[in-house]
Amino acid sequence: MARLGVNIDHVATLRQARGGADPDPLTAAILVELAGADGLVVHLREDRRHIQDRDLTLLREIVRTKLDLEMAADDAMAKIALSVKPDLVTLVPERRQELTTEGGLDLVNHRERIQKIVDLLRDGGIPTSLFVEPTLDQIKAAHKIGAAYVELHTGRYANAKRSKEEDEEFEAITQAAKLAYKLGLGVNAGHGLTYKNVKRLAKLPEIVEFNIGHSIIARSVMVGLVQAVREMKELVN
């Protein structure tokens, strides 16, 4: 039975659009937990386009399940993480011009830089997850770095236009998940997942957690946040 982590970044996106106080990500976090989610996910970006430092500090105080902080692999963000102490840090690539995180970390070519941050966080008592493409070389590199988890980037699977393309991406995720599990890594998955396409991935026993945001927040506009979370929770279990 897989866990569900709900990313509430886009609650903050809507708030920031008008520069006011509503909707409040803290209220969203409470509702998400009441709906049965297993954790909260937020991405503190360099440009602070949605989640703000104050949000993160207050979320750490109120979240009772698990707080997963997504962040870039740099010293400034590591300093914030060591201060706030989330339950998990997921390191992700970050480019200012992108609308959302696109693609996974390149652990093979940037191992030294990422290793430094993973070691720093581990020494501070914070486990790490590495957001990677579902390729065997990236999984092996994550294991060598000493991460506790990998989060498999499911974007290409989610965006596949033809069934053959989807099948190929599903197979890549399957093989990556199996290798990660064999190497002792926890396996999470996320990016672009919806109420429709998550069902197939939910059948993979190696994946222990799905982290989903946009689809749930979009659905909540129509049915309410609690109902949207409950519907997704049912699909991943």
Catalytic residue among 10, 33, 50, 70: 70
Sign of the four-CA dihedral 92, 124, 208, 232: negative
Strand (E) or helix (H) holding 177: helix 163-182
> What 8-state DSSP symbol labels residue 48?
-
- Known active-site residue 70: yes
The count of other CB atoms within 10 Å of the CB of residue 113 is: 13
Q: Could you give the CA distance from residue 188 to residue 129 in angstroms, rounded to a whole number?
A: 8
Catalytic residue among 50, 191, 206, 209: 191
Catalytic residue among 43, 50, 143, 153: 43
- Known active-site residue 50: no
Gyration radius (Cα) of the chain, Å: 17
Task: Give the three-class secondary structure for 123.
Answer: helix
- Known active-site residue 110: no
Active-site amino acid positions: 43, 70, 191
